[in-house]
Amino acid sequence: MRFPAAPLLLRVLLGIAMVGVQAVDNRLLYTIPAKDSIDAFRAAFESTCANGTWTRAHHALRGLSFRGFIFQPGDYAGKHADTEARLVCSWYNASAPDPAPSVTFTTEVAAYLGATKT
């Protein structure tokens, strides 16, 4: 009995596509403090995240290296770009095997800067 290769190949490809690659979206939505402009808050968030200067950071960051940050003005629909932002502050364990999972400090940095979770 012969099996057509095309249907089998299609099933295999669909199976792979169903499993796929999963991504984690760690962005959190925050309302920036009323005293700050979005640009001023972005500069403060970037600096505080990258340099590990929020309260108690020296304990939390032991053994970790800075990975990066995300700062996207506006909510998930792109509205309120002057008062809200989607944020991530990410570090990782440099001694862990690649790919090392991210350790996020978004909540700590945002709270330190006076932002409130929306």
Confidence of residue 6 (pLDDT cuts 50, 70, 90): low
56-97 tens-digit pLDDT: 898 889 889 999 999 999 999 999 999 999 999 999 998 898
pLDDT score for 90: 95
9-42 tens-digit pLDDT: 445 444 434 444 445 688 999 999 999 999 999 9
Confidence of residue 112 (pLDDT cuts 50, 70, 90): very high
Task: State the pTM of this model.
Answer: 0.77
In 1-118, DSSP assigns E strands to: 28-31, 64-73, 84-93, 102-104, 116-117
- pLDDT of 55 strictly over 80: yes
- Name, in order, each residue with C-beta under 8 angstroms of 41's C-beta and a sequence gap of 6 or more: 32, 33, 85, 113, 115
- Does an H or E element contain 57, and which? helix 57-60
